Amino acid sequence: MHSAPSFTAPAHPTPAPHGADDTGRLDATARFVREQDTSLLLARVLPGLDGPELRAFTDQCRFAHAAVLVFPPDEAALRSGLAGCGLDAGAPARPSVVVRDRLAVRYGHRPADLDVRILRPAVRGPAGEHRAVEVFALTVPPGSALAGIAAGERALDHEAHLAFDVERPDPLVLRGLVASFARHGAAPDGGGYNPHEDGTVFYLALPDGTKTPYRRVELYARGDHRDVLDEHLRRIPAPWSASPLGAAPPAETLLRLLTGAWTTQALATCAELGLPEALDLHTGTPVPELARAVGARPESLGVLLRYLAMLGVVADAPDGFRLTDVGALLADAAPSSMRPLALMYGGPFYRSFAHLTHTVRSGEPAFEHLYGENHFDHFARDPELAALFDRSMVASAPLFDALPSHPVLSAAAGAPGGPRTVVDVAGGTGALLGRVLTAHPTLRGTLLERPHVLAAARRHLAALEADGRCAFQEGDFADVPAGADVYLLSRVLHDWDDEQCRSILRHCAAAMGPDADLLVVERLLPADGSPSLATAWDLHMMCNTGGSERTAVQYAGLFAACGLALVGHTPLALGAHALHVRRAAPGVTA
């Protein structure tokens, strides 16, 4: 038996099947991959699989690789270690976005500070199958501040996993496979989309009864399946929960759920104190120094910071507390800052939720019961609160990232003839329209909004140098301008009940020409009752606006009642969808 040089001396013993050093762990992983039969391995991964279900799994999946994370000081040492295990590194290492981001969250580092690479040396299975050893390598030079990550990962091997390629990765197959793992006790454990190889991964934590030394499985699907991935990730418990909620004793599960209000207020307080501005992403700051900077009592601030560290908003570094990438989103100057959302959810909306029982009993929005008027009217009379609300809407702007490339907008931008016009109905401060006009310089825009919002919209679009192609129209839904090519109605309908939605849509339909398109951006309630951001926002809308989230079928019914037809819908970020609507064909009625 040969011996190979180790990359570094281990800080802790590594559990089976891995050896005590990086090279030993590589060697053990390679042997495992070469020896496994897919069907037998699946039966060991989930011992509860019966014959028919096991055959279905085997038809849909094939064992592709086992993964190991190592920590070479540089790429030359990595390749030397691979060669010592009889593994050919082959092509240059590529970035690993998924593992980089997982390590960043787990250890409170900026993703940009972690150089995680991926190599897949090829090996053969027992019947000559093409397989690989998936090697993730985090470069840890001698004396690096990343040594703690190496020690922690060698001890616990979070990233060691088995991987199965999904043979026909359509959404139904992916949802079925993930649901089958869940039925046998596996829990969602992360995942991501890797643009470098156009592949989507779903990680699952295996139950205690598994008969392999691995505790995680990866399902790999070629292509972009982020809509299915979002459903998968939403099933992961809150980051401070050490185990899936369903696995905890009922009393502990309920206790954790009951403390959700504490989290909201802790985040709002973090934003209100200006902690993100006082903290640094790279180096720690002692509590007394932070307390002086934000005007707080050191002992009290320390309690808050420990809780925020548990949430992953700050990290407790040896030299004090520092900001994480999650916490950085609460900084006022951060791109797409979520500080206004934190202040809204921890302020007026938090107070209205205290009256949720009244809403459930009476049907009256708690906001109106508490403040005596509709929340739009209430905000309009308070310029400071109105500005905060408008900024909070901008905080969700990432859901617009993919919308400018929607075929309807791309077709309008490329159509022959004169400039095409896009009207954004109740478009707020122009976050969406600005993106559309920036992406398509041939388009012109019109923003319809209330007078007190248009001033901020003009400033926003001027900063994008798009105001020269945009008209600003004061008014409400009855003032939708006629004759445009595309109409946008983003996050509007969920604010209102069905009767008001039909009124809004009739105004849009009256303005639309026979060839005009309407894009409606909303979260869709899942028809099967699966976990969804829309389910949470449905409760929020009921409590604060009297509106609701809806299924695609319910929206189609609203459109049909107004002489419109739902053509289709496509997923966006943050659980939203773009619903494509046109005028219904002549003679078609609801």
Q: Which residues are catalytic?
A: 494
Cβ contact 244:253 at 8 Å:
no
β-pairing verdict for 517-523 and 576-583: antiparallel
- Alpha-carbon span 144 to 276, nearest angstrom: 26
DSSP category for residue 285:
B
Instruction: Count other C-beta atoms under 10 Å from residue 97's C-beta.
Output: 17
Q: How far apart are the first and last CA of the chain?
A: 77
DSSP category for residue 242:
S
DSSP category for residue 118:
E
Cβ contact 9:21 at 8 Å:
yes
| Conformation bin of residue 460: beta by default, left when phi > 0, alpha when psi is -120 to 50 | alpha
Angle between helices 51-60 and 171-183 (to 10 degrees): 140
Question: Where does residue 316 rank: exposed (0-12), middle (13-18), buried (19+ CB within 10 A)?
Answer: middle
- Alpha-carbon span 504 to 426, nearest angstrom: 11
Residue 216 — φ and ψ, nearest 5°?
Answer: -135, 150
Q: What value, to the nearest 5°, has the Cα angle with vertex 46 and ends 182 and 120?
A: 95
